[in-house]
Amino acid sequence: MGRLTTHVLDTAAGTPGKAMSVTLHKIVDNRRETLKQLVTNHDGRCDQPLLEGDALVAGVYELEFGAGDYFRAQGVQLPDPAFLDVVTLRFGIADTAAHYHVPLLVSPWSYSTYRGS
């Protein structure tokens, strides 16, 4: 059974990105359909897969992470406007039987991602 998961690592503090907002969208006909809005837990993860089983269909998706609000809540002084505010990752799912893990490694000045396991 395939599934989509994510987690956030705060690379500036060296800690999990807890209490960060995450929104999942599916791209259909060049429009975004919001599927879920979540907040990461104490370990920087969502408590359940974002999608799994029959809900995981092939297509293009976006994850939006509320990085600016997260760093402000941590007491980080950000410029106005912040260099990074909402981090959007667009990715494709082709194999609905596979596990797609899409983590975000983020600081106020940079981010990276990869397809994890």
For residues 59 and 25, the answer to whether their CB atoms sit within 8 Å is no
Known binding residues for substrate: 7, 45, 114
Once rounded to an integer, what is the mean pLDDT over residues 19-48?
97
The rounded mean pLDDT for the chain is 97
Does residue 1 have a pLDDT over 90? Answer: no
Per cent of the chain over pLDDT 70 is: 100
DSSP string, 13-67: TTEE-TT-EEEEEEEETTEEEEEEEEE--TTSB-SS-SEEGGG--SEEEEEEEEH
Q: How far apart are CA 102 and CA 4, in angstroms?
A: 8
Pairing status of strand 99-101 against strand 3-5: parallel
In Å, what is the CA distance from 30 to each residue of 33, 53, 86, 93?
10, 24, 20, 16
* Each residue's pLDDT tens digit, 7-17: 999 999 999 99
* Each residue's pLDDT tens digit, 49-66: 999 999 999 999 999 999
CATH 2.60.40.180 given to domain 3-112 = yes
pTM, rounded to two decimals: 0.96
Q: What share of the chain is helix, strand, coil (3-state, %, to 5)?
A: 10, 45, 45
Domain regions of the chain by residue span: 3-112
- Retrieve residue 79's tokens: 């410029």
Known binding residues: 7, 45, 114
Does residue 101 have a pLDDT over 90? Answer: yes
